[in-house]
Amino acid sequence: MEATTTDGRTLYVDREEAERGSKGPFFVVYADERAERRWGYFCGNCRSFDNAMDAMGRIKCNRCANIKKPDEWDAAHE
């Protein structure tokens, strides 16, 4: 799926490659049509590119608070 950012940049959302979020999936986004340059994530809940990932792999949408839990977790990080 082709999508455009607020600044007019065309990006390519891969609907087959996704991470599970609390409110909806986070789809992997590529900067090129051939999916060679990974760009980030697209929130499937609110259809936004406005999200962030931390060092533990947690993804949080800044618009709707959709969250993907970290890949690795232990109580020491709390």
- The model's pLDDT over 56-73, given as tens digits with 9 standing for 90+, comes to 889 999 999 999 998 766
Give the residue extent of every domain in the chain. Answer: 2-72
Three-class secondary structure of residue 42 per DSSP: strand
Looking at residue 74, what is its pLDDT?
57
Res 76 pLDDT > 60: no
* Beta strand 51-53 pairing with 38-43: unpaired
- The model's pLDDT over 4-59, given as tens digits with 9 standing for 90+, comes to 888 899 999 999 999 999 999 999 999 999 999 999 999 999 999 999 999 888 99
Question: Residue 38: beta bridge partners?
Answer: 30
User: What are the C-alpha distances in Å from 51 to residues 42, 46, 68, 75, 76?
Assistant: 8, 11, 11, 24, 25
pTM for this structure? 0.84
Question: Residue 28: beta bridge partners?
Answer: 14, 41
What secondary structure letter does DSSP report for 64?
T
Q: What number of other Cβ atoms are within 10 A of residue 68's Cβ? A: 21
Looking at residue 72, what is its pLDDT?
65
